[in-house]
Chain A
Amino acid sequence: MLPPFDMPPLWQGVLLPGVLLLSLLGLAPVTALAAPMGEDEARTLLFRTSFAANETQVQEYARLDRQHAVDRLLAGSQQAAASSPPELSGVDRRLIPGGMRQLSEDEKKALLQQSREQGIALRAWWIGEMLTTPSPFTDKMTLFWHNHFTSGIQKVKSPQLMYRQNVLLRRYALGNFGEMLHAVAHDPAMILYLDNVSNRKGKPNENFAREVMELFTLGEGHYGEQDIRDAARAFTGWGIDRENGGFRLYRVVHDDGLKTVLGKSGNLDGDDVLDILLSRPETAEFIVQKLWREFVSPEPDEREVHRLAQVFRSEHYELRPLMRALLTSDAFYAPQNRATLTKSPVDLIVGTLRQFNLAPAENRTLAFASQQMGQDVFNPPNVKGWPGGEVWINSATLLLRKQALERLLRSIHSDDRMSDPGMRMQQASVQGMSENRLDPQRWMEQFSRDVSQRNLQAAHLLLAATPITQIPADAPPAALLRSLLLDPVYQLK
Chain B
Amino acid sequence: MSDREDEENKLHTGHAQKAQQPSELGVNVAIGKQLKAYYDDVASEPVPDRFLSLLDALDKAESSSKSKTRE
A and B bound?
no
Give me the interface of A with B, judged by CB distance under 8 Å. Answer: none
Give me the interface of B with A, judged by CB distance under 8 Å. Answer: none
